[in-house]
Structure 1
Amino acid sequence: MSPQSAIANLRRPATLFGAVICAAIIATAPVPAMAQDDTEARLRRAEAEIRALQRSVFPGGDGRFFEPQISAEGSAANGNAPGNAPGNASTTAVTDILARLDALEIQLQRLTALTEENTNALSGLDARVIALESGPAAGAPAAGVAGATDTNLAAMTGGEAGGESGGEAGVQPALPAATGPSPERLAAVQQITKPQTEDPGDDEYSYGFRLWDAGFFPEARQQLAKYIEEHPDHFRITYGRNLLGRAFLDDGMPEEAARWFLRNYQADRTANRAPDSLLYLAQSMIEMNDTRRACIALSEFGETYPAVASGRLADQYESNRRRVTCE
């Protein structure tokens, strides 16, 4: 484009602008009195036309000619001002969107953290359930001698009562050795018959008793653990738990025996074999060289079951008392 064409293009809007200015001046010139009523309306119309011309000639609002209608700070009335060009969001709108996005990200982070915590908690629960269900005998006491509910028994055992929710550690030694029993032992065990009556629970317990009475302690433990697991509400359950402790104690396992004796005593102190279990608990402590706890158990036995201590279990009670020196 030649310099003359460029100058002509620049003059054309200026000429148009001048014509509009002249029209505005003529429109605002003094008029007869009868035309004064519409002066304000004509002035407003002229101002509107000038503003329209300003937007056409100087869309950028160049301050070299006159103060632009919309400044750089922007007015919501004109979407073509600098920093607010068509197709671009205003500064206020963008700031609002960024603030809302920040809030959403914070909420997502919190939800993610809570989800991870819940997932870890559920995984831990699943692992505990699997560990409990995979044991050889559900409901067996937890590892370590659980404490009794009374203060003196808690002191004897050094912990809180294990109750009925113990683990499986006390039953694991009941499994046969890794090499398996000898053919002679298998033949001897097979000679012990299992009763077949109308009470399956009593049959299971009686078979465990016969194995224990014959000296087959590992087999007796396995059978009695099965009875306790399958018939927890049977009327002989106190006999079964006490006899399972005996099967450990008679086989030289006083620590495992103590768990069962204590559990049976805690389950029902009025049961038929609760006194026996408490007295055998004292004997287990003597076998473990734990004199203090043995004395606590003996004292508890004498106070709780005075009639049994002077009657049915008198000999065993006195025998255990002679084995320890209690203060």
Structure 2
Amino acid sequence: MRNYLTAAVLLIGVGAIPGTAVAQSAVENRVERLEGQMRAVQRKVFPPQGQGGNNQLIQPDIAPGEYPAQPSGTPSGSPVADLTARVDALESQLSGLTGQIEQLQFKNRQVEEGFAAFKRSTEARLTAIEGTTSGSAVAGDTATQPVATATPKPVTPKPATPAVSTPAPAKDAARATRAAAIEKPATDDAGEDTYNYGYRLWEAKLYPEAEVQFKSLIKDYPQHRRISRAQNMLGRSLLDGGKPNLAILAFYDNYRKMPKGDRAHESLFYLAQALVKLNKPAAEVCKVYDELEDVYPDKLSPQMKADVARGRVTSKCK
């Protein structure tokens, strides 16, 4: 610290012309006091461990107003006078800093004392609450003891009420009757029987029931010769049953997985119809028609060609 201040003073007074021996001695004394005050501030802000850390105020080595009067005869405006003025300013600033530190320490003590009082009050309140809760628990246990020893009254069991089955709605009953009226084929080819039964249900406009049969064939007989037809009829059952979103998936799967199947071209045609029902952009519908005519030009029946032409006009395909 001393070397730092000495260097600072030297920088401040570079080029200064020495005054009288008495003036220089006075300035040196004040610099010594200034260094002592700086050491006091340093101990205040950074107290050594175990020293000064117990909120004890450290008085500065130099108090304001203790400087001896400047000896007369010092030339006015000389470098020594300028140096003295600067030292005065530094001493004033250090004195203000010391006062601020003392105020902060005082406020810190007030905060610590207030927190300690709050802690004591809170602990007392918690202790009182715990005592009240324990007393209530003991009283509650005592009050419930006679109830535990009471003899329960015999209860006469009531006769069980027989469960009442809710009859199926008339609509479902009528639908079940219609489905039961559809003849189920019974041949040596279970896959063929499943397809034919599903087709008959579709013809009777029992679309959910037909959907079940076609899904069963696709799952149980994936290599059956009717698999392409079953996938196509699954899509038609979904489309006619008001599920165009699912129908699109069924039609597309038939074309994508079995492009050489005997009903792949029909699936493309009905895929376009499902897109129309979903109000999809005309450009998407036209792309399906283009794919159909490009891939299966020889498989389109006259009726399907006429339907494709009408669909192109409706969708304004180029």
Question: Greater helix share, 1 or 2?
Answer: 2
Please indicate, yes or no, whether the TM-score normalized by the shorter chain is above 0.5: no
TM-score, normalised to structure 1, is 0.44
TM-score, normalised to structure 2, is 0.45
**Which of 1 and 2 has higher RCO (CA within 8 Å, sep 6+)?**
1
